Structure 1
Amino acid sequence: MNSRLKDRLVVITGASSGIGEKIARIVAESGGHLVLLARRKDRLKKLSDELQASHSISCTYYELDVSDLDAVSEVFTDITENFDRVDVLVNNAGFGIFRNAEEATFEEMQQMFKVNVFGLIAATKLVLPKMLAQREGHIINVASQAGKIATPKSSIYSATKHAVLGFTNSLRMEVADRGIFVTSVNPGPIETDFFNLADTSGDYVKNVQRWMLNPEAVAQKIVSVMLTNKREINMPVWMELGGLVYRLMPSLFEKVAGNLFRQK
């Protein structure tokens, strides 16, 4: 629960499942109004109907593939024209495919960048004028520990998350004195449907199962910082400490942790 969200409007991409869905539920419990965006319209409708029936909130939804920038522009233009304000944008939509660089196809490469980077940047650009006019708002970009610690078989996915972190950190400085908060969320592996596509063999999930994050806990943490000046959320803590060592001593870290990295 987050009492700051009472009667505020929260827009969530990738809201039909995983942490996006769980964030929506917690926002609704907190009294926040919602705009849900995802490709699976049937799931969005079911979730929207459920949340409006259970809580005294409004919940609008749009079918949206964030890799389609024309569709992103159309949907977000509609949102900014039809709602008086947008208080929080959670850029949660994303996907990955774990392959060595030489195995990944151009189509996979383009799609990961379209969804994880270009769609996120486009959505942000389209809500920023509204937030800047309000002189208040919060952009929350779901990145990954893969944006801090590169590992084998995730070269392209990791590159997209490095890009998200670069954009997020620069944006934070651009709007720091204009009333807008900007937060990056850097989780390790989360127990969601993400790995149905990313890890079709099931080997990675099997190897890291005991370390996987609970999606409810990640969602709770994200909602708890909404409308606060939080720079980053890093989960789990031990992985962020590993990332710090990696940045200070990359060669040593890669040598020591190499076998762990190759568990995909």
Structure 2
Amino acid sequence: MVHNRLVGKNIIITGASGGIGAEMARLSANYGANLVLLARNVEKLERLKEELEQGTGVQVIVKSLDVADTVAVRDVFNEVLSEIGHVDILVNNAGFGIFRHAHETNMEEIKFMFEVNVFGLMACTSMVLPSMRERGSGHIINIASQAGKIATPKSSVYSATKHAVLGYTNSLRLELKDAGIFVTAVNPGPIATNFFQIADEQGTYVKNVKRFMLQPEYVAKQVVERMMTRTREINLPRWMNAGSMIYALFPRVFERLGRRAFNQK
């Protein structure tokens, strides 16, 4: 059972100050895991730490970290490893997007999306892999997106970053197949979080897809219940993932028939 799998495990969650990051922290703490919560907003982390320690009694460490700063990633992870000894599970959850047409997206925004969504994820992973390999145990969980499978208008850069995450995750899984380390990609559709305050400035996308949005508690539950299991992918919702499978087989037909649905942003 998931309860037994997570008791006493050390879990690092990036982007843990809100949304599915905070919800995964709550569920993991309820199952008896010790937590290291990382995000830029340390005040939110401190409030979450107080809530979890009072409610569950598990150990919670919080540290401010911008994963786009790879030097800071190295320093913070070295601090964490010296404090807790080893990491059982890393959840690379930090990420953001901006929905704009390709010609309207400036290079600063493009670089920053890649620094957070891709380079930061890789930097965090590289900090825990050596000890996981040495111990022959661990789990890397990368929060990607259905946008990494189906690219749509106004998400060219965001989709590119998530395609990169999926490519990295798939390769990593093959590398670690015989090392005792699980690697999971999580590909959710739109989730009702503050992600869209930045991504969807005009609110058009949220208005159009609100009835299809996933709740962060649901997504977090699907992830936490599969921690320390050999799960290749978690695709949510299932009907959207079915679309990505059809897209892979019949891309031209899918793009033609789905054109109206794609232009929701």
Shorter chain as denominator, the TM-score bin is over 0.9
Tell me the distance in 1 between the aligned counterparts of 2:236 and 2:51: 29
2:148 corresponding residue in structure 1: 147
Q: Would the aligned equivalents of 1:28 and 1:34 in 2 still touch at CA under 8 Å?
A: yes
1:15 corresponding residue in structure 2: 16
Amino acid paired to 1:208: V
Q: Would the aligned equivalents of 1:36 and 1:44 in 2 still touch at CA under 8 Å?
A: yes
SS state at 1:181 partner: strand
SS state at 2:101 partner: coil
Q: CA RMSD in A?
A: 0.8
2:40 corresponding residue in structure 1: 39
Tell me the distance in 2 between the aligned counterparts of 1:77 and 1:261: 43
1:161 corresponding residue in structure 2: 162
SS state at 1:126 partner: helix
Q: Which moved more, 1:22-31 or 1:74-83?
A: 74-83
C-alpha deviation, 1:84, in angstroms = 2.1
1:94 corresponding residue in structure 2: 95
Q: Kindly, what percent of the aligned residue pairs are identical?
A: 56
1:2 corresponding residue in structure 2: 2
SS state at 1:102 partner: helix
Correspondence list, 1:55-134, <5 A: 55-134=56-135
Work out the number of aligned pairs and report it.
264
Tell me the distance in 1 between the aligned counterparts of 2:238 and 2:47: 35
Does residue 231 of the first structure (1) align with residue 232 of the second (2)? yes
C-alpha deviation, 1:49, in angstroms = 1.2
Q: Which moved more, 1:50-59 or 1:116-125?
A: 50-59
C-alpha deviation, 1:157, in angstroms = 0.3
Q: Which moved more, 1:1-10 or 1:161-170?
A: 1-10
C-alpha deviation, 1:130, in angstroms = 1.2
Normalization by structure 2: what TM-score?
0.99
Unpaired segments ≥5 residues, structure 1: none
Tell me the distance in 2 between the aligned counterparts of 1:78 and 1:2: 28
Tell me the distance in 1 between the aligned counterparts of 2:255 and 2:16: 35
C-alpha deviation, 1:206, in angstroms = 0.3
Deviation by residue 1:103-153 (Cα, 9 ceiling, x = unmatched): 001110000000000000000000001111111000000000000001000
Amino acid paired to 1:138: H
> Stretches of 4+ moved more than 4 A in 1?
none
